[in-house]
Structure 1
Amino acid sequence: MNLGLLGKTAIVTGGSRGIGFATAKQLVIEGANVVICGRQEDTLMEAANKIEKETGQRVLAIVADVTRKSDCEKLIMSAVTKFKRIDVLVNNAGISSTNAFMDISAEQWEQDLNLKLFGAINCSQAAVPHMKERGVGAIVNVTAISGKAGWKHSMPTSVSRAAGLALTNTMSKDLGEYGIRVNAVCIGLIRSAQVERKWKKEAPNLTWEEYSNEMGRDIPLGRIGEAEEAAKAILFLLSDAASYITGTSLNIDGGSSPVL
């Protein structure tokens, strides 16, 4: 299937590792001009070099903190200056921060919402005018299944992710008239640096496949998902194949969520 991403300009926040890295790489493979951002320059440049080594194509790496509106504006303008257009934005920047409600400080609430919710708002507000100018665009907000159905000790992440889903739906209503589609993905248990650290700490004698199967015993598909699987679903929502899909969310969780 031709996804229609050839020659388009895509920005992926949090693009130096995990789902962001896998998404950026898949976009490059599909022929898009890709810009990745992150807060740590060394990690970001390492990711950019790895993508170039594996695909033969360069990506533009911009150090940016999405909680700062000025950094988001710099990120978008760097992409426009280099590639003359913005077609696709993946708001992926975020970390997993969970605790019991009474144990979360005001600072932790603020940090989580600033990164996951306002980071998406800041980048989208900077990118949308360039999409409106061309009358087309696609945005995917990366959230989590806990945003639909939280579990014990899942705050503040479950709250900020729920806000991200509300943001997605309302943005789609405001931006549809300009040809801009806005969707979300809700991530379940996916292989990441954090998951791999837990594996090596708790079960160093198990292979990854064994550990994945053990941790996925309560997941209908029976294993931990791979970042590339999430990336391919994100690419679908960004692509021309999803040209009549907006304001919705897609679970990428192996069937573990109790809600659609």
Structure 2
Amino acid sequence: MDLGLKGKVAIITGSSKGIGLHTALQLVKEGANVVLCARREEKLKEAAAFIKRETGVEVLIVSADITKEDECKEIIQKTVNHYGRIDILVNNAGTSSTNPFESVDTDLWQTDLDLKLFGAIHTSKAAIPYMREVGGGAIINVTAVLGKTPPANSLPTTVSRAAGMALTKAMSKDLGKDNIRVNTVCIGLIRSDQIELKWKNEAPEITWDEYSRNVVGPSIPLNRIGETSEAANVITFLVSDAASYVTRTSVNIDGGSGSTL
């Protein structure tokens, strides 16, 4: 299937590793021009080198702190200066911060919302005019399945992710007339540095596959932790022409572990 991504320009925040990096790799393989964004320039260079080794293609890197609106605008401007257009934005930047309610101070609330909610707001607001210029576009807000059904000790992450889902719904209604589609992917247990560290601390004597299937797997209907490439594949489909009639929806990437659709 031709996904219609050849020549499209995609910006991915939080793309120096994990889901962001593998989404970038998949989009490059489909012929898109990709911009990697993260705070640490050395990590972005490593990510760009990885993509070059895998595909032979060079990508643009932009070091920026998306909690700052001016730097979000700079990402967009550097992209337009380099590629001349913007078609796709994947708001992926974020970390997991899970604590009981009473232990979360005001600064942590603000930091989490600035990164996961306002970062998506600022980058989207700056990118939308350029999407209109090319006749439309696609925005993905990466959230978390636990944002739909927050458990205990899950703050502030589940609140900021729930806000990201509400943002997706509202944006899609406002931007549909401009042929700009807005969707969210709700991430469950996907392989990451944080999960790998937990594996090495809890059970270093067994392989990753054994840990994924035998230790964590029984709590997941598909009986394993998901791979970053599996999340990237879903995101790539949603931003492609193959999903041209899909907007205002959420897709759980969680192996069936979530309690809501």
Structure 2 residue identity aligned to 1:247:
R
Aligned to 1:46: 46
SS in structure 2 at match of 1:113: helix
1:196-217 deviations in Å (ceiling 9; x for gaps): 1111121111101001012121
Q: Give the equivalent residue in structure 1 for 2:218.
A: 217
Distance 1:5 1:150 in 2: 35
Gaps of 5+ in 1: none
Letter in 2 for 1:146: L
Residue of structure 1 in register with 2:32 after alignment: 32
Partner residue in 2 for 1:155: 155
Gaps of 5+ in 2: none
After superposition, the C-alpha distances for 1:198-256 in whole angstroms (9 at most, x for unaligned) are 11121111101001012121100000000000000001110111101101100000000
| Partner residue in 1 for 2:260 | 259
Q: Which amino acid aligns with 1:66?
A: I
Kindly tell me the number of residue pairs found equivalent between the two proteins. 260
Q: CA RMSD in A?
A: 0.6
SS of 1:159 mapped into structure 2: helix
**After superposition, where does 1:161-200 map in structure 2 within 5 Å?**
161-200=161-200
Q: Describe the superposition over 1:103-129 as per-residue Cα deviations: whole angstroms up to 9, x where unpaired.
A: 101000000000000000010001001
State the one-letter code of the partner of 2:67.
Answer: T
Q: Within the alignment, does 1:120 sit opposite 2:152 as a pair?
A: no
In structure 2, the residue corresponding to 1:89 is in which secondary structure? strand
- Hey, what's the Cα distance between the residues in 1 that align with 2:97 and 2:217? 21
Give the 5 Å matches for 1:72-151. Answer: 72-151=72-151
The amino acid that maps onto 1:3 is L
Pairwise CA distance, 1:20:
0.3
Pairing 1:69–2:106 present:
no
Report the alpha carbon displacement of residue 146 of structure 1 after superposing the two structures with TM: 1.0
2: CA distance, partners of 1:257 / 1:201: 26
Corresponding residue of 2:245: 244
Query: What do residues 171-207 of structure 1 show as CA deviations (whole Å, max 9, x unaligned)?
Result: 0000000010000000000000111111112111110
TM-score relative to the length of structure 1:
0.99
TM superposition shift of 1:94: 0.2
**CA distance in structure 2 between the aligned counterparts of 1:94 and 1:101, rounded to whole angstroms:** 19
| Counterparts of 1:166 and 1:233, CA distance in 2 | 20
- The runs of at least 4 consecutive aligned structure 1 residues that moved more than 2 Å come to none
Take 1:47 and 1:83, find their aligned partners in 2: how far apart are those partners? 19
In structure 1, what is the Cα distance between the partners aligned to 2:200 and 2:48?
26
Give the partner amino acid of 2:153.
H
Is residue 205 of structure 1 aligned with residue 220 of structure 2? no
Partner SS for 2:218: coil
- Corresponding position of 2:236: 235
Percentage identity across aligned positions? 60
SS in 2 for 1:216: helix
Q: Which segment is superposed worse, 108-117 or 44-53?
A: 44-53
Amino acid at match of 2:142: V
Question: Offset of 1:53 from its aligned partner?
Answer: 0.9
Which amino acid counterpart does residue 149 of structure 1 have in structure 2?
A: T
Q: Which amino acid counterpart does residue 250 of structure 1 have in structure 2? A: V
